[in-house]
Amino acid sequence: MGNNRNLSDETYQILLKKIITNELKPGDFLNEQVLTKDLNISRTPYRAAINRLQAMQLLEIEAGKATRVRQFSLDDIKNLVETLIVIEKTVAKMAAQRATALDIKKIRQANELVVKAASIEDPQNYVYKNESFHRAIAEAAHNPFISQVHYQLRVLMQQLTYIALERANSGPGGVFEYYRILSDQHSEITDSIEKRNSTRAEELSVEHLKIFHAKIITYFTRLDVY
């Protein structure tokens, strides 16, 4: 099965996916006994994984040491988007200044997969491919510190997106039309990076997130509990 460190990493990835995809929903309590049995692990790697998820603000420790998936308020979403705007426009600027030809190729390939997911109206795959696109830009910035911060914030955004999808619609003005708008913006961002236009890359990244924020708030106000 591997050592405790490997088991902790594997457990972290499994629980992370469950939280991001809303299999473990905001407010759900985690049952250590059930999860360690299901995952066939001891408490040591489980608790190490829980600590990592708590550090990423995906979990909350309640009184009596009960652990539950974090719930988001509208203020939390606003604060998260404000923070991500700072990071996204920075990585876009740095990518425009530092991206190699291979970096740009990876960004374009990532966006092609985003466009495909939008065209076949596959929302869950779209979310996954969208994150791959943004990760490719962060990697093109060639700064491991900012890339790590970017990763942590994007994980929270993935979780919010999956929650919103539960109440999204597919009609006119719905989620798939919205995805196509974002995909077009991806192409513009990529073009700006390739042309070394860091100012435009920053502007587009900010606009991109503001559109996302407006849409996510619309979806979240349809939920009784955030």
pLDDT at 211: 87
Reported pTM:
0.86
> b vs e for 31-43, b when ≥16 Cβ sit within 10 Å of the residue's Cβ?
eeeebbeebebee
pLDDT at 1: 46
Report pLDDT digits (tens) over 177-216. 777 788 889 999 999 999 999 999 999 999 999 988 888 8
| Mean pLDDT confidence for 159-184 | 72
Lowest mean pLDDT, pick from 102-116, 132-146, 155-169, 190-204: 155-169
Q: Which two tokens stand for residue 118?
A: 């939008």
Lowest mean pLDDT, pick from 19-23, 25-29, 72-76, 217-221: 217-221
Whether 226 has a pLDDT exceeding 60, the answer reads: no
**198 contacts: CB under 8 Å, gap ≥ 6:** 92, 93, 94, 96, 97, 192
Nearest to 5 by CA among 43, 38, 48, 41: 48
Phi, psi of 211 (to 5 degrees): -65, -45
Q: Would you place residue 222 in the very low, low, confident or very high pLDDT band (cuts 50, 70, 90)?
A: low
pLDDT at 173: 53
Q: Which two tokens stand for residue 37?
A: 């049995």
Report pLDDT digits (tens) over 1-12. 456 678 899 999
Placement of tokens 């065209």 in the chain: 119
**60 contacts: CB under 8 Å, gap ≥ 6:** 54, 67, 68, 69, 70, 71
**Gap between the Cα atoms of 73 and 65, Å rounded:** 22
Instruction: Set out the domains of the chain in order of their start, with CATH numbers.
Output: 4-69 (1.10.10.10), 74-220 (1.20.120.530)
Whether 36 has a pLDDT exceeding 90, the answer reads: yes
| Mean pLDDT confidence for 107-134 | 88
